[in-house]
Amino acid sequence: MSKLALFGGSPVRGRPLPKYRTIGEEEKRAVMAVLDDGVLSQFLGTWSPDFYGGPRVQTLERAWEAYFDVSHAVSLNSATSGLNAAVGAAGVGPGDEVIVSPYTMAASATAALVYGCIPVFADIDPDTFCLSPKSIRECITPQTRAIIVVDIFGHPAEMNEIMQIAREHDLIVIEDSAQAPGATYHAKYAGTLADMGVFSLNYHKTIHCGEGGIVVTNDDDLAERLRLIRNHAEVVVKNKGVTNLVNMVGFNYRMTEIEAAIASEQLKKLEGLLASRVAAADFLTRQLSGLPGITPPLVRPSVRHGYYFYAIKYDAAQTGVSRERFAAALSAEGLPLGLGYVKPIYLEPLYQERIAYGKDGFPFTYPGYRGKVSYEKGICPVTERMHFQELLYGDFCHANLEQGDLEDVVRGFRKVYEHISELN
């Protein structure tokens, strides 16, 4: 009879699962071509042809527009920059509230703070972990101007309902699809479902170029504002004849030619990489579905999940074993499971202490802010339940895992279940 690795038995996996690796000869050749040219970035922060960047940046943007069927793709040096630029382009500012998710990478919420807005945290849906439309409605006040929705773990948010709410209240919607490139919702790509969508090309994402981000939109005016914010807007507006100066403080958010060349090659691989993720997740879900106390990722009808992580819900009441203990047992088998994902963002010191810009608590203390926001523990009970009690996630779906690796994952789960009574 086997013995749990936690108690000294031999683990299901003696060696770690393969790492995710997407960089190959194509990317190497593309980078070498840039180096041979010698122009590593062609951007100029003045109103000139080079205001829009060099040939690889342009090629990437046109390819991204064609792939995602959008009018504009604006490349940047990260998705964080993209979120910031999107909030700036939206024209919101001090005194305004932006509804955000508490269950995401911190940048999806701090983008609102960067422009002096107040992030208001709505709760998530307990099945997809994305913002719940009902909770969004409950958070709307006369101050609300925008919503930042996140397609967390790769599952698109409930965008039809959210866009309907936005239309009723005249709100701008930004979709953070950093974790969902290639995922679809009613036959449209995640990231293209809102006024602006933001993708990440950072090393940890489905496709990457080191550091990078892309914002997409079908709105010509928003696209031009994004390009201005990306590239020193304040010194460009006069010669370009820009009259709407709201949030036209510029940055250097520009992508280099090297990153753009890599990203163009990565985009060609996206469909294949995603298809592997979906196939792996479908296999795991079929195999793990029967296990008591485990709820595999739910996929809503008309959705293709992006499976950035394989996120499952765990019910300790059904197994009699705590989530921490269960994860420790599986991790000991060589199959690392993460607990809870990120802490609800409003519990971080920035929000608890309400200190962001300067020492006097701007924007929370801004006299022009007429609202009253709460960051108390308990404001988002579903998020807190997922983080503190139920959610487990593993990097179990990526394209470098072979069938034998996936079978090991399943064997690991089954082994822990066989011994579950020993874990008390």
Ligand X SMILES: *Cc1c(COP(=O)(O)O)cnc(C)c1O
Residues forming the site for ligand X (CB under 6 A): 78-80, 104-105, 107-108, 150, 176, 178-179, 200, 202, 213
Instruction: Specify the residue, 78 or 144, whose C-beta has the smaller distance to ligand X.
Output: 78
Instruction: Specify the residue, 80 or 231, whose C-beta has the smaller distance to ligand X.
Output: 80
Q: Which of 128, 161, 87, 121 is nearest to 308 (CA)?
A: 128
Q: Report, in Å, the least distance between residue 370 CB and ligand X.
A: 29
CA dist 53 and 230 (Å) reads 11
Q: Which residue type sits at 310?
A: Y
Instruction: Specify the residue, 150 or 391, whose C-beta has the smaller distance to ligand X.
Output: 150
Q: Report, in Å, the least distance between residue 334 CB and ligand X.
A: 26
Sign of the alpha-carbon torsion through 221, 225, 226, 228: positive
Q: What does 198-255 look like in DSSP terms, one character per residue?
A: EEE-STTSSS-SSS-EEEEES-HHHHHHHHHHHBTGGGTHHHHT----TT----B-PP
Instruction: Specify the residue, 89 or 178, whose C-beta has the smaller distance to ligand X.
Output: 178
Q: Report, in Å, the least distance between residue 155 CB and ligand X.
A: 12
Instruction: Specify the residue, 4 or 130, whose C-beta has the smaller distance to ligand X.
Output: 130
Reported residue count of the chain is 424
Other C-beta atoms within 10 Å of 274: how many?
A: 24
CA dist 204 and 240 (Å) reads 37
Q: Report, in Å, the least distance between residue 389 CB and ligand X.
A: 22
Q: Report, in Å, the least distance between residue 151 CB and ligand X.
A: 8
Q: Report, in Å, the least distance between residue 202 CB and ligand X.
A: 4
* Residue at token pair 């983008």: 111
Other C-beta atoms within 10 Å of 173: how many?
A: 23
Q: Report, in Å, the least distance between residue 12 CB and ligand X.
A: 29
Q: Which residue type sits at 270?
A: L
Q: Which residue type sits at 421?
A: S
Instruction: Specify the residue, 144 or 179, whose C-beta has the smaller distance to ligand X.
Output: 179
Instruction: Specify the residue, 129 or 396, whose C-beta has the smaller distance to ligand X.
Output: 129
